[in-house]
Structure 1
Amino acid sequence: MSQNTNKTKSPPPIFFIVISGLIAFGAYQFVPGLLKGKSSNSAAMESRISLGNQILLTSQTTADKQAGVTAFAKGDYKEAVQKFQASLQKNRNDPETLIYLNNALNNAKEGDRTSVKIAVSVPSGSNPNIAQEILRGVAQAQDEINARGGIKGAGLQVEIVNDNNLPEVAKEVAAALTNDPKILAVIGHNDSTASLAAAPIYQEKGLVMITPTSSANNLSGFGSYIFRTVPNTRSMTAPLAEYIVKQVRKTNIAFCYDSQAAGNASFRDEFIASLSASGGRLIPIVCDFSAPTFNPNSALADAVSQGAQGLMIASHVDRIDRAIDLARANQGKLALYSSSTLYTSQTLKDGQKDVDGLVLPVPWHPDTNSNNPFPKNARQRWGGVVNWRTATSYDATQAIIAGLQQSNTRFGLQQALKSPNFSASGASEDVKFLPSGDRAGRPILVQVKLGGNTGYNFVPLR
């Protein structure tokens, strides 16, 4: 055998050029995290999460608050405390700043080694007003427990997350929070569609989720880690339908809703069932707030022509403007009803006389809870009357605090909340959970009437 047959041929130079190019291209395309230090996904999530290092509610910004988050991000917690306190002196109605202040106070005193940490997920980008309503309840409960020395001596830290009420973002948020071993529970999400998207992740990973605002029936019995402090849809529609048919004697009701919102779909199905059970009937019209072809005038004309006596306007919380457009087109022709979604300052401010007389069920109202200290404390804290989202968020936080008093582990907290003997002090009555994870309770019917700072107000029906 010759010498030449034992030698391996060297590849041509062009081979090395091509291979080198492919390797470089692959590194550029698939491992940017190695070059930049983090993936684009993690960077995007970091922009959504804050313990005090960035402002998520940009509508509530002061120079002192900005200085506070800058100091917090640097680890200068004493400076952050001073700046957050100064900001609250100028704007006490900002719950984000109060949460950041409590987080900074805890870090300035002991560092996060002795704290217990939870998260709250809100639509701070897409619907800052709703986000603030929820955060006020969380902030008030956090402030109260930390002022009393914390949970068995450990301060309560609250991480705020922005999910924009989007189900795909809620999934990413759930994945990030379940992967943080320090997070012991999550308050959220706001919209039922977002809660339903995130719930499977929390259940699989064993992290308690308590939604203060999602009422979709599909969440009932979803899993042993899924809870809520708002009544389910069925318990909200029954008293409303009974009031419409048996008290105001209106039996023919048309319904306009948002087909893209899980909570609205549940409300529609349950309201139709409750309406029928009470002796009323549904007037069939084509009216979908989420449809690009939605036309308030044609929907109303259709309802009137078919003999409707009342109109249900159940919109998604991010599309309240369309519900108000329909109320405006109504011009008092039909009695108006809604889900609790429309209990917002936007409804009163933008609707004015067009929503006068609107009746809707809500889980809580300050005027019906005079014996509970929460309404008075909330008014003193925030400088005004709070609504049901603040109350149910306060209740969710109170439930978590009570559970963590028994055990500061994820599993221990879940076991505490599932216990038939569990109870926590709430904004109206004690918080107790049914085996389904639902909270037992009956809603309060309220009506829009003339009065209040916006010209109109939500007043309980007696």
Structure 2
Amino acid sequence: MLHKLKVDRKNIVLFVYVVILCLLGPLIIVINQNSNKLTEQFKQQNDKPKQSLATRMSSGDRLLITADINPVKQSAVQAYASQDYQTAVEQFQASLKINSNDPEALIYWNNSLAKLQGETVKLATSVPIGGNLDVAKEILRGVAQAQTQINRNGGINGKLVEVTIANDDNVPEIAKQIATELVKDESILAVIGHNDSNASVAAAPIYQAGELVMITPTSSAENLPNLGSYIFRATPNTRALAEPLAEYASDIARKKDIAVCADSQSEVSQSFQKEFTWAIYSRGGSINPIECDFSAANFNPSQIPSEAISAGADALLLAPSVRSVNRAIEVARANQERLTLLGNHSLNTYQTLQEGQKEVNSMVLSVAWDAKSNTNNAFALDAQKLWGGAVNWRTAMAYDATQIAVAAIKPGNTRQQVQMVLSDPQFVTEGATELIQFLPSGDRNMKGTLVKVEPGTRSGTGYDFVLLQPPTQALK
């Protein structure tokens, strides 16, 4: 009897155990499946920055400038992605016949030819496609023109140049991520970029640590070369740009009390304001004490000109970053031609002419270069043929930055050798308008020039940037 009771108890326990398993088994499976899903989602979330970054870079396997899409260009990209480089050459060439003013297509066409030949020399360029498309295209035109010229002449030591394009949106954090990826790709020997000084300053320490030369075509913030021996620029620094404008304002326009609008969140704007202020004071002038910050939360463009006039100002300098050009134009509109307008190089854009119209008429700007500075210049003439119109200083400086990289790569094929060539005090190479030489700081040995907004037909807006005589010549 006792034995039977023990058996019954064992059966009952076994029965209960089976019931529990039947009830909990499906739940355990569901939990495990959900756990796997969460793990996969977590992995995907961790991979998102990499996936996002991949969509920001291309040598021809994807389009970055979606504004210039056409079916032929899409076919070319598909062929390139499939490593069918012969078809890619043909399709990119056909796309250029549809739109000859497309620097992205020209770079990818050159890359396709380079891939057909075999081993390439690889450069990269980082531009703000999603931040300011016009500026990005201006820089890409310079890179594309230089790449085309170099490859037509046989490339570098018999190898054609391949260029990877990256889109940093002029956002410092994205610029840092892109710099990290470019440093990892050991085949890249130099980088042409970035555009905005904030982006360049953010990325520079990464290039320095990775021993990859960065040559910015457009960042002029004064402190940039201090960030490392691998950091160079093709454009003049802010002092070289601000001094001619201050000389014009003081000695030619005879302005003695100048109000300044700048961007407190921009390295280049703050640097330009500082150098311009120093140059004005050194000439006996003064800077009006009114506050005008394009980044201020309470920014009110309609009040600024009136406040400046009430405070005794006789001129107004607009020194925005590329990101705050629209706010500078708003101030110009509010000015209604009352104060003499001056501008920094960031305002040398199509947007300024198109949106500013008569309100920016007669504004004088300091820029790195102007196409009319030498009417017989080979670079300017080639650019006119290639792009169907005149180009501005960003295109010229991007062309020069590419030529600098190529000149440094010719005698050396490692990143360290490229840096050593550029650091040599005897380094010199031919640029768009003049010989390119560096100061010991890594700055380019070059002065800015002045342009003035005047009615004209070249830009299609009704107004053009017209070259002014250098102040020293105008005073004679």
- Equivalent-residue separation in structure 2 for 1:220 and 1:183 (angstroms): 21
The answer on 1:209 being equivalent to 2:217 is no
Q: Give yes or no for contact 1:56–1:125 (8 Å, CA) kept in 2.
A: no
Q: Give the drift of 1:259.
A: 1.0
Contact 1:59 1:128 in 2 (8 A): no
Does 1:337 pair with 2:342? yes
Counterpart of 2:53 in structure 1 is 45
Give the distance between the partners of 1:386 and 1:244, measured in 2 at CA. 26
- The equivalent of 2:275 in structure 1 is 270
CA distance in 2, matches of 1:220, 1:412: 19
Q: Work out which of the two has the higher radius of gyration on C-alpha atoms and give 1 or 2.
A: 2
- Which residue is equivalent to 1:377? 382
**Consecutive unaligned residues in structure 2, runs of 5 or more:** 1-19, 470-476
Residue 318 of structure 1, CA deviation: 2.2
Aligned twin of 1:353: 358
Give 1:10-409 correspondences, 5 Å limit: 24=36, 27-28=39-40, 30-32=42-44, 39-110=47-118, 114-409=119-414
Q: 2:444 maps to what in 1?
A: 439
AA of the residue aligned to 2:368 = P
* CA deviation after TM superposition for structure 1 residue 407, in Å: 0.8
**Partners of 1:29 and 1:159 in 2: CA distance:** 31
Aligned-partner Cα distance in 2 for 1:370–1:93: 21
Amino acid at match of 2:189: L
**CA RMSD in angstroms, aligned pairs only:** 1.9
Q: Which amino acid aligns with 1:267?
A: F
Deviation at 1:388, TM superposition (A): 0.2
1:31 alignment partner AA: K
Counterpart CA distance in 2 for 1:285 and 1:194 is 29
Amino acid of the structure 2 residue aligned with 1:190: N
> Does the residue aligned with 2:226 lie in a helix, a strand or coil?
coil
Report the AA paired with residue 393 of structure 2.
W
Determine the C-alpha separation between the residues in 2 that align with 1:320 and 1:49: 26
User: Is the partner of 1:86 in helix, strand or coil?
Assistant: helix
| Residue from 438, 458, 461 that aligns with 1:454 | 461
Tell which deviates more after alignment, 283-292 or 189-198.
283-292
User: Is 1:234–1:270's contact at 8 Å kept on the other side of the alignment?
Assistant: yes
Amino acid at match of 1:383: G
Distance between the aligned counterparts of 1:325 and 1:387, measured in 2?
A: 23
Deviation of residue 60 (structure 1)?
1.8
- CA drift of 1:25 comes to 7.1
User: Residue type matched to 1:229 in 2?
Assistant: A
For 1:41, the aligned partner's letter is P
CA distance in structure 2 between the partners assigned to 1:55 and 1:323 by the alignment:
32
Give the stretch that moved more between structures: 150-159 or 230-239: 230-239
Q: Would you say the 8 A contact 1:283–1:308 is kept in 2?
A: yes
Structure 1 residue 49: Cα displacement: 0.2
Task: Specify the SS of the correspondent of 2:244.
Answer: helix
In the superposition, the TM-score normalised over structure 1's length comes to: 0.92
1:28 offset after TM fit, Å?
3.5
State how many pairs are aligned. Answer: 444
Query: Between the two proteins, what is the percent identity of the paired residues?
Result: 49
SS at match of 1:256: strand
Amino acid in structure 2 at the alignment position of 1:296? P
The answer as to whether partners of 1:221 and 1:435 remain within 8 angstroms in 2 is: no
Of 154-163 and 257-266, more deviation after overlay is shown by 257-266
**AA partner of residue 64 (structure 1):** V
Q: Is 1:445–1:460's contact at 8 Å kept on the other side of the alignment?
A: yes
Query: What is the DSSP-based 3-state SS (H/G/I as helix, E as strand, rest coil) of the residue aligned with 2:223?
Result: helix
Deviates more, 1:452-461 or 1:87-96: 452-461
Question: Unaligned 5+ residue runs, structure 1?
Answer: 1-11
Q: C-alpha separation between the residues in 2 aligned to 1:28 and 1:146?
A: 46
Q: Deviations over 1:245-294 (max 9, x none)?
A: 11111111001111111110111111111111111111111211122321
For 1:286, the aligned partner's letter is E
d(CA) in 2 for partners of 1:130, 1:48: 17
Number of the residue aligned with 2:416: 411
Q: Counterpart in 1 of 2:5? A: none
Q: Which moved more, 1:290-299 or 1:190-199?
A: 290-299
Deviation at 1:76, TM superposition (A): 1.3
| CA distance 1:63–1:25, change in 2 (3 Å) | closer
Q: Matched residues in 2 for 1:136 and 1:410: separation? A: 25
Distance 2:34 2:336 in 1: 67
CA distance in structure 1 between the partners assigned to 2:440 and 2:73 by the alignment: 42
